[in-house]
Every structure is written in C-alpha cells, then in structure tokens.
C-alpha cells in the first residue's frame, strides 16, 4: 500500500489544482457568515454565476445541487456534514492526507499477522486479510468528523452475542443528560435502565436532574436485543478510547454513500 500510494503521487501532482478556495464553516450560530462563505465557494467552483450580490435560498439550493451531482453524492440541496466536507476538500488537503497516510504506513509493524482485520476509516470499508490476501470485505460506519474513529492497533479478545450497551461518559454528558432534564421518560423510550453504584435500578423520575451538569452518579445501560445500539454482536478489543466493532440497529445507514456517522465505534454491516 505504501509503494502504490508513493507511486501515484506524481500523477496526482500533474493533475492537481492548488488554487485556494474559500473554506465554508459549519452553519452554527452565524448563519449569515455561513451563507456568504458558501456562496463565495460555489462561485469559485463555477456552480453559481455571481458573488457580488447576495443569493437567495433557492439560488443557493440549486448551486449546491449542481455541486452534489458533480461530486456523486446525495443531491438534496442541503449542506450537511458530508457536503460540507466535500466543499472543503481541496487538492492541497488531499496532498497533506497522502503525506500523513504514508507516515501511518511507516508506523505499522514490520511484519503483519497472518490474519488480521484492516479498518479503513476514510473509505468506510473493512477487510479481513489472510496471508497477504483480502478474503472478505464489508461496509462499515465510522465516526463523525467531530467524534472521529481513533487510529489504533489491538487484538480482538472477546465476541459478545446480544451485548448490553453502556454509553461512554461523553455521550451521557452531551446527549443523554440534556434529554432526561427535559423528560425523564427519554430513558425508557430508548430502552435504557438507570443503575446506582450497587447495581440497583433507579426510577429516573425520582432523580433531581437539575443539579447535574458534569456527569451523573449512575450507570446508564441499554438492555440486549435486536433494538440495542450494538445490535447482535460486539467484537471487543483493549483500547483507551472505549471503541469496538459491532453490529447496529440502524442497518439502513449502510445504504448511505457517506458513512461517517457514529460516535467513534465501527459499525459492521456483515458482522
């Protein structure tokens, strides 16, 4: 892989366009700034005819659709995470990624195992490799740009059928806690149980959620079953990031072209 990538650099450089394009920020709170940058970027790429006059929503939508169609991604006229990432993907950025990828190859063990799983988080595919040959491939879903799948090497130690899911502290803090503050019934709706330090189940309606802001003194556990976020099977391997390979209860997402959708774990279609 290292040699193939290195060999392809010359062809890439011969065809590369190193013009600087306007970087489009996430919409966030500055919607006006986002629209101005978006229009300028679309103008620079030839998808809209002007940038001196403010475009209306319909004009921006049509220009975004042209961009999406040319890039071969879902044509809906909306600037979601995938479209935003493509808008900001320049040849200069690709060149930097090539350099980083070459460096990652150098950090691999001198001799790879006879059989191993290779997760390509960038392409959202997984390969099972045996004796230097790809024996099996599967679509996967990896982390969102804000919750990227980490780069690591480890050994799969346990396979767990019908696993329970214990959301990591980051998800509890950013997603579950705000939801239960609005409605404690959120936990039951999502199939979660609330357990104290002794493992006893706690009624979420008896908890004063308003006093928690940086975490909670309980474990949140989603029971096993086909509706569980981890699906039917979990591949466990030691790592400091609390990530693993697993099935999913959102299998329809494997139909997406852009599959950077998880909190960091790797969902496997053909587990």
Just list the catalytic residues.
Answer: 246, 265
- How many residues are recorded in the chain? 271
For strands 192-195 and 219-222, give the pairing. antiparallel
> Is 265:252 a contact under the CB 8 Å cutoff?
no
- Of the candidates 99, 133, 139, 104, the one whose C-alpha atom is nearest the C-alpha of residue 119 is 139
Spatial distance between the Cα atoms of 52 and 10, rounded to a whole number of angstroms: 38
Calculate the alpha carbon distances from 58 to 63, 64, 112 in Å.
9, 10, 53
Contact 191/222 with Cβ under 8 angstroms?
A: yes
**Could you give the C-alpha distances from 204 to 194, 209, 224, 249, in angstroms and in order?**
7, 9, 20, 24
**How far is CA 108 from each of CA 133, 139, 140, 142, 215, rounded to the nearest angstrom?**
17, 23, 22, 21, 37
Measured CA to CA, the distance from residue 56 to residue 63 in angstroms comes to 11
């Amino acid at each position: 892989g290292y040699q193939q990538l290195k060999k392809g650099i010359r062809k890439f450089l011969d065809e590369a366009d190193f013009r600087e394009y306007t970087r489009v920020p996430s919409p966030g709170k500055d919607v006006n700034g986002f629209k101005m940058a978006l229009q300028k970027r679309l103008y620079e790429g030839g998808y809209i005819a002007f940038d001196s006059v403010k475009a209306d929503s319909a004009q921006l939508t049509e220009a975004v659709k042209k961009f999406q169609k040319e890039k071969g991604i879902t044509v809906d006229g909306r600037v979601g995470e995938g479209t935003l990432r493509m808008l900001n993907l320049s040849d200069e950025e690709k060149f930097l990624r090539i350099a980083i990828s070459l460096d990652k190859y150098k950090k691999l063990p001198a001799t790879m195992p006879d059989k191993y799983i290779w997760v390509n988080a960038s392409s959202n595919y997984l390969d099972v490799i045996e004796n230097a040959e790809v024996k099996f491939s599967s679509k996967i879903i990896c982390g969102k740009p804000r919750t990227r799948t980490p780069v690591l090497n480890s050994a799969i130690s346990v396979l767990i059928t019908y696993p329970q899911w214990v959301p990591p502290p980051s998800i509890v803090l950013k997603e579950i806690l705000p939801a239960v503050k609005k409605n404690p019934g959120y936990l039951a709706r999502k199939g979660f149980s609330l357990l104290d330090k002794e493992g006893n189940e706690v009624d979420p309606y008896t908890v004063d959620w308003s006093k928690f802001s940086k975490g909670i003194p309980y474990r949140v556990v989603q029971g096993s079953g086909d509706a569980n976020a981890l699906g039917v099977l979990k591949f466990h391997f030691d790592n400091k990031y609390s990530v693993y390979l697993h099935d999913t209860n959102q299998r329809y997402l494997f139909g997406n072209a852009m599959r950077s959708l998880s909190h960091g774990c790797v969902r496997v279609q053909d587990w």
